[in-house]
Every structure is written in structure tokens, then in C-alpha cells.
Amino acid sequence: MNFFYTIRAQKFKKLLIIVIAAFFTSFFLYAQSLLNFPVFSTDSGPKAISKAEGQKDQLALTFNISWGDENAIPILDELKNQEVKGATFFLSASWAERHPDIVERITKDGHEIGTMGYEYKSYPSMESAKIKQDLAKSKKVFDSLGLKKVNLIRPPNGHFNKEVLKVLKSSGYTVVHWSIDSKDWTNPGVDKIIENITGDMDGGDIILLHASDSAQQTVKAIPIIAQEMKKKQIKNVKVSELVANTKSKTKEIN
């Protein structure tokens, strides 16, 4: 009889271990699905930053500009009206080359400039040598505009892979993605843009906006975004300031 109970106890113990292991595995997978990984990376190699860990009272508003000359100045005016300082503008160098006056205004207002390359073509579809040529052309333009240290890059369309990250790192760039996409370029309505941004807005976020002419509703959303930031006591800072000396998690990319 004791032997019978011993066998049952052993089976129960094994079953309990299996159940516990299954529980923790399920919990781990569930937790992973909820995490917002702030950095995309190769194993221990080049990275693309999308969020700064540990920043509770700062975030970064970023604006992409690849074409058009109607929206940039109104957006700069509204940022100034709302006393939002230190935004980061990612410019295609071909656009910057054609609009040196707006580039000057961006820097004069105290904002930061990053590059999106010269031609604004998707990097994963290009050979490494072509990417380097595009980067060299971009650097030449920004150098000619008096911007000698443009070290932040947002790959065109936000597209990158391991090889692109390696090329960008070897060229001395910090790759900046985003944690919140406003989708403002689709012109979904001012209220929807605000909802997209402020719904999950938190410290450390890097927010994607656009100042190209396709984003017709962005300027009207800025005042409300600024108000929500004040309510949450979150200050806007340059991307370079946001990510300085912060810890990051990583996520493997293909």
C-alpha cells in the first residue's frame, strides 16, 4: 500500500512540475507580447533606438521631412507658440539642399537635425556601397549648410535590416526608429492623430510625426499634444539628450 502511494506521489510531483513549467512559459510569452522593446538590434551589434528606458519625465517629438515647403514653417511656428523646444527633425538631404532657409530656421529655433539620407530610397533594397554613397552625399549637403555633426539617422520609410544597421553603424550613425507612430501623414483627422500619440504616451517615447506637405493636419494637433505633455509633466527633449546614458532592451531582427 505504501508503495502504491509512493508511486502516486511521484506521478503527482512530476505532473505538478510540468504544470508549473507550463504556467511560467505561458506567462513569459504573454509578458513578451506586452513589452514595447525600445531597441532593435543584431545580437550584440548595431542597434536602432526606438525608446529610452528609465526616462519618466522626458520624450522626443520627431518630424520627418522629405518633400514640400508648405508645412514646415507653420509647424515650427506652432512649436514656438507652445514653447516646445528641442524637437528633432529628420531631413532628406535632397530636401535640405533645396530649402536651406528652413534648415536654418530649424536650427535657429533650437531644434536638432538628423538625416534620412540623400535620395530617400529604401535602404534594404540597396547594396551596401550604394547606401554609403547616399550617406556621403547627404553628409556633403549638411556640411555645406554648416551642420558638421549630423550623427542621427532615420532610414527612409523606417526600413532597415541587419545589413543596413551594420553599414550605418560603420559610417558613424545612430539609428533612430520610434515607439509611437502618429500616422499623421494619412490625414486621419486631428483627433485621431492626438489619440494615436497621447493614448499610450509615456516618458522615454520617441514619437513619429511629419512636416512634409502630405501631413496636412499635424500643425493643428500640436497644441493639444503639448497640453497633454504638460498634464503628464513630460518635457520634450532632443533625441540625442533622451537616449544619452539610458539603458535599453533588445529585440532580434531579420
DSSP assignment of 51-118, as one string? B-TT-SSEEEEEEEE-S-SSSHHHHHHHHHHTT----EEEE-HHHHHH-HHHHHHHHHTT-EEEE--S
- The 10s digit of each residue's pLDDT in 50-63 is 999 888 899 999 99
C-alpha cell, 56: 519618466
- How far CA 6 is from CA of 16, 17, 18, 59, 163, in Å, comes to 15, 17, 19, 60, 58
Cβ pair 116, 92 in contact under 8 A:
yes
C-alpha cell, 112: 536638432
Residue 54 pLDDT: 84
Query: Which has the closest alpha carbon to 204: 35, 50, 88?
Result: 50
C-alpha cell, 232: 503628464
Using alpha carbons only, what angle is made at residue 150 by residues 149 and 155, rounded to the nearest 5 degrees?
Answer: 160
Q: Is the pLDDT of residue 14 over 50?
A: yes
Distance, CA of 122 to CA of 130 (rounded, Å): 11
Q: Is the pLDDT of residue 42 over 90?
A: no
Q: Is the pLDDT of residue 29 over 60?
A: no
Distance, CA of 79 to CA of 1 (rounded, Å): 81
> What's the chain's average pLDDT?
85
Distance, CA of 140 to CA of 144 (rounded, Å): 6
Distance, CA of 225 to CA of 80 (rounded, Å): 14
Q: Is the pLDDT of residue 4 over 50?
A: no
- The 10s digit of each residue's pLDDT in 98-157 is 999 999 999 999 999 999 999 999 999 999 999 999 999 999 999 999 998 999 999 999
Distance, CA of 231 to CA of 239 (rounded, Å): 21
- The 10s digit of each residue's pLDDT in 192-241 is 999 999 999 999 999 999 999 999 999 999 999 999 999 999 999 999 99
Q: Is the pLDDT of residue 31 over 80?
A: no
Interacting residues of 235 by C-beta distance below 8 A, sequence separation 6+: 57, 58, 59, 229
**What are residue 140's phi and psi, to 5 degrees?**
-60, -40
Residue 180 pLDDT: 97
